[in-house]
Chain A
Amino acid sequence: MPSLPIWEFDVLLLVLVVLFALISLSIRNLMGAAIVFGAYSFMMCLIWAGMGAVDVAFTEAAVGAGVSTVFIVSTIYNTSATMQNKPGGLTFKLFIGLVVTLTGAFLLSALPDFPEWGDSESPANAVVAPYYIKNTITDAHVPNVVTSVLADYRGFDTLLETTVVFIACIAIYSILRTETAKSKTDEPEEEIAVLPSYDPSDSLIVRQASRFMIPFMQLFALYVIAHGHYSPGGGFQGGVILGASLILLAISFDLKFLLGHWSEKSLMLLVASGVFLYAAVGLACVFMGGNYLDYVVLDPILPGKGDMARSHGILLVEIGVGITVMFSMVAIHINLASNGRFDRGL
């Protein structure tokens, strides 16, 4: 068995992950559970990084620990932080325990059949993976193999994942932004009294700090998108950070301030335009005589020398991913935080 570099560290992380998962499940206050859940995501992020999957770790940090915690918190803001239901009886718990134990035992039964940890000869590393590692430079001029697999070799999956984000956004919009929610926008006056006495948007420190941070966040996000060819990152991570910068603006000032800059219509149109850009790049390839998403044929209409076409194609679709993800995050946050009313919220 190949020796693990710092196995004590991995053991600590695994113990902490399980611990955080148990705590987050057992806390009765949902706000506390959400925060612990965010910590759980950070631990997962470290585990991914330890496995060498830095792109996955990056996504986990941005999405898992970052915006999804904000989404849970804004959902709690509009519902309730206390659980209403009572836990089931002993028989129910025993039944669930039995099912979970059996499932776990079934999953673990395959363990002796697995290749060793980090085995370079294991099928996952020996069948198609060597092709990616050997050819990513000659095919696409992209040193970061993850980016070339994500946006080129398996670019169709990424187009569809972007579509999934788009669907999530319009689904939440369709469910929350109803006629009743719209009509409530006109009568917000009486609700001021219900707002908590401590209004975070009044905090000078929070406002000034976020005013200072947001430009740097956005600059970093643009770097993450543009530099995704060479280092961990890309459209998803950069898009989430861009979205998070606007969400921070909405939280530290208020939703009205954000909606003054980005109207409901422009947000929802931009969400669709990212997917459109991605799909249109693919379609352009078909019209130029290649297969769908075969960026090579775009060479005549892209700048640069011939063998850079794939690299530029990847950049274009990453920008598409970034746009959709960024505005989806913002639109989902506004819907959840204002319960579809688009006036005020978290």
Chain B
Amino acid sequence: MTEQLPIIIILGPLMAAVLAAFAGWFRPKLSHPLVLLGLAASFAAALKLVFIVADGGTQKYWLGGWGDKVIPGQKDPFVVGIQITVDHLNTLLLAAVSGIALLTAIYAKRLVDTELAGRQRYFDALFALLVTGLLGISITGDIFNLYVFMEIAALSSYALIAYGKSRAYMASFNYLIMGTMGACLYLLGIGFIFIKGGTLNIDDLSGIIPTLQADGPSQALFVGFILIILGAWAKMAFFPFHGWLPNAYTYAPTASASVLAPLATKVAVYAMLRIMLTVYSIDYIVGLNGIQPIALYLSTAAIVMGSFLSLTQTNLKMIACYFVISEIGYMVGGAWLANKPGLTGAMYHLVADAAMTSALFMAIGCIVYRLGQAQLESLRGVFFKMPVTMTAFVVTMAALIGVPPTCGFFSKWYLIQGAAQAGVWHFVVALLLSSLVKAIILFRIVEIGYNRVPHPAIQGNPAIERKEAPLSMLIPTLVMALGLIVLGLYTDTLVGTNTIIGKAVSAALTP
């Protein structure tokens, strides 16, 4: 049964979504447990695969059994169907995406029941389909299949965002335009690669592309590469394509935002990494004169701009959205540094940031559930009202700032090391600046939430009623926040030389 594990990761949420769509008409109460079951199966398979991959290396699965076939006129066998691959680069991401999706599904139940009362017939199905798309992008070993999964994830996220009220429609529409543009660029890029390579399989392409350029660089492959990178940037809201993200995730229902914000952008970053490192190679990227510095300057711009705009916002959700935009700059910058610590930082941050953003949006969701809004001004006394939630929030902010021993410290450490090694000092400055800005925002929230009300412990001051979010929301939030510390403590087992990320980095660096 172990050889079927890769497909279970996809089938769990996919079958659950279809069954939930049926259940929505007969037994609406059943659709949420069905989705939980599908996501749990997916998470269990992904977790098991982490250990299998750590011991036994890459796992390949051929859909329909169309694996290595001998082709007339070619000496090596080719994959003629679709392959899904679990290797060192994506196995941790798969576990993170399915795990966070499962926790978020548990967490979102109460929010959906209150925010979307009467309209949630297809919410669970769309939620599971979104996760199917995200897991599919992360697992596939075929560049066209990646595009199809991208469409699944994108279409379901447009619907999930449009579930919000009034302004969400326009935000979702802007996202639709930007997302479609990104998908079109990506698809065009695939066309350029297929014209030169003749196959869509990522492993086969990584063998073919160097041979095509033996006599000099190929312009078609270059155009294809740039188109795919631009498409991925539009999908991940990288500067200057970030305009759609803040409104989309702020006006979306909190339940949708808490699954979209941590996962959707991270998976797009992974797609970029996969194209850069496996389809093309690190030598190819370093050989592109002028592109690497541009990408690094844009990353710096993304971090600086995201940080400064987060300072100007008065809505907690909006602030979190600008954090997401600046964190994208971390990962893109780390990837384009194209050296060992930079790539290590980018790959580690992929998982760490998914966890951090998830914890952040969960904590904000708890606050919104009780206070009804997320304006900074409304947070007065929130530390006395919801002490447990705010503890999780402070831990998350500490991770985002980069305080040891949380995971945020280690990823930032590697990124700064990589930037220093490559001599890209503007990126180092941007990383430090971003920490500073996040610290300022944390202190501002502490100031409003803790200091602006008379301390209730002092005699004579009015007591503030404690009212935490319901346990079904609070426990996932705490688990996520605790996970940030655990992830930080286990950094060594993830990024050392002979570990999963270590092997992924050395595979990328040795052609």
The chain A residues found within 8 Å of chain B, CB to CB, are: 106-107, 109-110, 112-115, 122-132, 134-135, 152-157, 160-161, 163-164, 166-168, 170-171, 173-175, 178-179, 265, 268-269, 271-273, 275-276, 279, 283, 286, 290-296
Known contacts A129-B198, A168-B155: A296-B11 contact under CB 8 Å: no
A109 touches B223 (CB 8 A): yes
Partner of B219, one of A110, A156, A167: A110
**Is there an interface contact between B65 and A127, defined as CB atoms closer than 8 Å?**
no
Q: Is A130 a contact of B4 with CB atoms below 8 Å?
A: no
| B residues near A134, Cβ cutoff 8 Å | 72
User: Which residues does chain A contribute within 8 Å of B224, judged by CB atoms?
Assistant: 110
In the complex, the answer to whether B197 meets A279 with C-beta atoms within 8 Å is: no
Docked complex Cα distance between A290 and B3 (Å): 10
Residues of B within 8 A of A173 (CB): 122
Q: Please tell me if the beta carbons of A292 and B122 are within 8 angstroms of each other in the complex.
A: no
Q: Are B73 and A170 in contact (CB under 8 A)?
A: no
Could you say which residues of chain B place their CB within 8 Å of the CB of A286? 4, 7
Cβ 8 A contact of A155, one of B7, B22, B64, B226: B64
Which residues of chain B have C-beta atoms less than 8 A from A293's C-beta?
A: 63-64
B17 smallest CB distance to A (angstroms): 8
- Contact A106–B64 (Cβ < 8 Å): no
What are the residues of chain B within 8 A of A132 when measuring CB–CB? 80
Q: CA of A132 to CA of B132 in the docked complex: distance in angstroms?
A: 29
Q: What's the Cα separation between A273 and B25 when bound, in Å? A: 13
Given A153-B64, A168-B155, 13 other A-B residues pairs in contact with their CB atoms under 8 A: A107-B188, A114-B195, A123-B197, A124-B198, A127-B198, A128-B199, A131-B69, A134-B72, A156-B82, A160-B145, A170-B122, A179-B119, A279-B11
Question: With A127-B198, A170-B21 as given contacts, are A160 and B148 in contact (CB-CB < 8 Å)?
Answer: yes
Q: Can you identify 21 A-B contacts, CB atoms within 8 angstroms?
A: A106-B226, A110-B219, A110-B223, A123-B208, A127-B199, A130-B72, A131-B69, A135-B69, A152-B64, A154-B144, A157-B145, A161-B148, A163-B152, A171-B126, A179-B118, A269-B25, A291-B4, A291-B62, A291-B65, A293-B64, A294-B63
Residues of B within 8 A of A112 (CB): 219
Nearest residue (CB) in B for A291 is B65
Residue of B nearest to A179 (CB): B118
**Which chain B residues border A291 with CB–CB below 8 Å?**
4, 7, 61-65
A167 partner residues in chain B, CB cutoff 8 A? 126, 129, 152, 155-156, 159
B151 at the interface (CB under 8 A from A): yes
Indicate if the CB atoms of B152 and A160 lie closer than 8 Å.
yes
B100 at the interface (CB under 8 A from A): no
B359 surroundings in chain A (CB, below 8 A): none
Number of interface residues of B (CB under 8 A): 64
A164: B residues at CB distance < 8 A? 148, 151-152, 155
Q: Which B positions have Cβ atoms within 8 angstroms of A?
A: 4, 7, 11, 14-15, 18-19, 21-22, 25, 61-66, 69, 71-74, 78, 80-82, 118-119, 121-123, 125-126, 129, 132, 136, 144-145, 148-149, 151-152, 155-156, 158-159, 162-163, 169, 188, 192, 194-199, 208, 218-220, 222-224, 226
Contact of B121 with A174 in the complex, beta carbons under 8 Å:
yes
Chain A residues with Cβ below 8 Å from B119 are 174, 178-179
Say yes or no: A128 contacts B223, CB within 8 Å: no
Question: With A113-B218, A167-B129 given, is the CB distance from A174 to B62 under 8 Å?
Answer: no
Inter-chain residue pair count (beta carbon < 8 A): 172
**CB atoms of A292 and B7 under 8 A apart:** yes
Chain A residue contacts of B195, Cβ below 8 A: 114-115, 122-124
Contact B198 A126 (CB under 8 A): yes
In the complex the two chains form, what is the Cα distance from A170 to B61 in whole Å? 31
Closest chain B CB from A267 CB (angstroms): 11
For A172, the closest partner residue in chain B by CB is: B159
A292 near B163 with CB under 8 A, answer no
In whole angstroms, what is the CA distance A268 to B23 when docked?
12
Are A276 and B18 closer than 8 Å at their CB atoms? yes
- B65 adjacent to A283 (CB under 8 Å): no
A122 to B151, CA, bound (A): 29
A residues less than 8 Å from B222 (CB atoms): 110
Task: Identify the closest chain A residue to B212 (Cβ).
Answer: A123
Q: Which 4 A-B pairs have the closest CB atoms?
A: A127-B198, A123-B198, A171-B159, A113-B220
| B-side contacts of A272, CB under 8 Å | 18, 21-22
B151 to chain A, nearest CB (A): 5
Q: Who on chain B is nearest to A176 by CB?
A: B162
Q: Give B289 Cβ to nearest chain A Cβ, in Å.
A: 16
Q: How far is the CB of A277 from chain B (nearest CB, A)?
A: 10
CB of A253, distance to nearest CB on chain B (Å): 26
Q: Which B residues are in CB contact (< 8 Å) with A130? A: 71-73
A282 nearest CB across to chain B (Å): 8
Docked complex Cα distance between A113 and B279 (Å): 19
Chain A residues near B19 (CB-CB < 8 A): 276
CB distance from B53 to the nearest CB of A (A): 19
Most central of A115, A163, A164 by chain B CB within 10 Å: A163
Chain A residues lying within 8 Å of B82, measured Cβ to Cβ, are 154, 156-157
How far apart are the CA atoms of A296 and B66 in the complex, in Å? 12
Partner of A127, one of B71, B145, B169: B71
Whether A127 lies near B64 (C-beta < 8 A) is: no
Q: Smallest CB-CB separation from A134: which chain B residue?
A: B72
B69 pairs with A156, CB closer than 8 A: no
Q: How far is the CB of A118 from chain B (nearest CB, A)?
A: 13
List of A residues within 8 angstroms of B22 by Cβ: 269, 272-273, 276
Q: Are B155 and A157 in contact (CB under 8 A)?
A: no
* Cα-based distance from A113 to B206 in the complex (angstroms): 19
Which residues of A have CB within 8 Å of B144? 154, 157
Q: Kindly report which residue of chain B lies nearest to residue A290, judged by CB atoms.
A: B65
Q: Which residues of B contact A122 (CB under 8 A)?
A: 195, 198
A168 to B219, CA, bound (A): 36
Q: How far is the CB of A211 from chain B (nearest CB, A)?
A: 31
Q: CB-nearest residue of chain A relative to B3?
A: A291
Interface pair B63/A156, CB less than 8 Å apart: yes
CB neighbours of A123 from chain B (8 A): 194-198, 208
**B203, chain A: closest CB distance, angstroms:** 13
B323 CB to nearest A CB, Å: 28
Closest to A274 in B: B18
How far, in whole Å, are A161 and B133 apart by their CA atoms in the complex? 12
* Cα distance, A286 to B1, chains bound together (Å): 10
A153/B61 contact (C-beta < 8 A), A109-B219, A170-B126, A279-B18 known: no
